[in-house]
Amino acid sequence: MNQDKKKAPSSGVLRAKDTRKVNQMSTSKNISPTGEELRDAGQHIVEVNDSVEANAGAVIRATLDHLIESGEPFSADEIRDALEGNEVVERAMFKRPNLLPAIIGGASRKGLIEPIGIVKPTRPSRHANRNLIWRATKRQGMAA
């Protein structure tokens, strides 16, 4: 039997080892990826796997876009409040707690938003850790 022709069924989930982005993180020889490169690659993997939860990321991105367009500062708590009651999104964020931070980080890397301050989150599960306050960038305002 030819072992080369047999392949394990795909789960549809993208793994870090399967992404070119992870493999191309550092172009110099013998240099480990930076923390920023590892963060960006991890956020990319979370966003690419969005289809696992019925495109909950699309709903989160639409909510984020609405907050950006409002021109008002916001934090992750405002996004969570706006999404409250959406069972698909809540299930996705429960299974993958980094989904919302990955989407916010992606918007920041694209230059759509910028941090302007820090706020204490209202959710006890955050252990009184910090949340960034975001606003639309001037570049985003010009594009709208």
pLDDT in tens, the chain (144 residues): 444 444 444 444 455 444 455 455 544 455 888 988 888 888 777 777 665 566 898 999 999 999 999 999 999 999 999 999 999 899 888 888 889 999 999 999 999 999 999 998 877 777 778 889 999 997 654 444
The DSSP code for 28 is S
Q: Options 1.10.10, 1.10.1410, 3.40.50, 1.10.8; which CATH number does 34-143 get?
A: 1.10.10
φ and ψ at residue 123, rounded to 5 degrees: -80, 125
CA distance 133 to 77: 10
Collapsing DSSP to helix, strand or coil, 114 comes out as strand
Domain ranges in the chain are 34-143
Question: What predicted TM-score, i.e. pTM, was given to this entire model?
Answer: 0.64
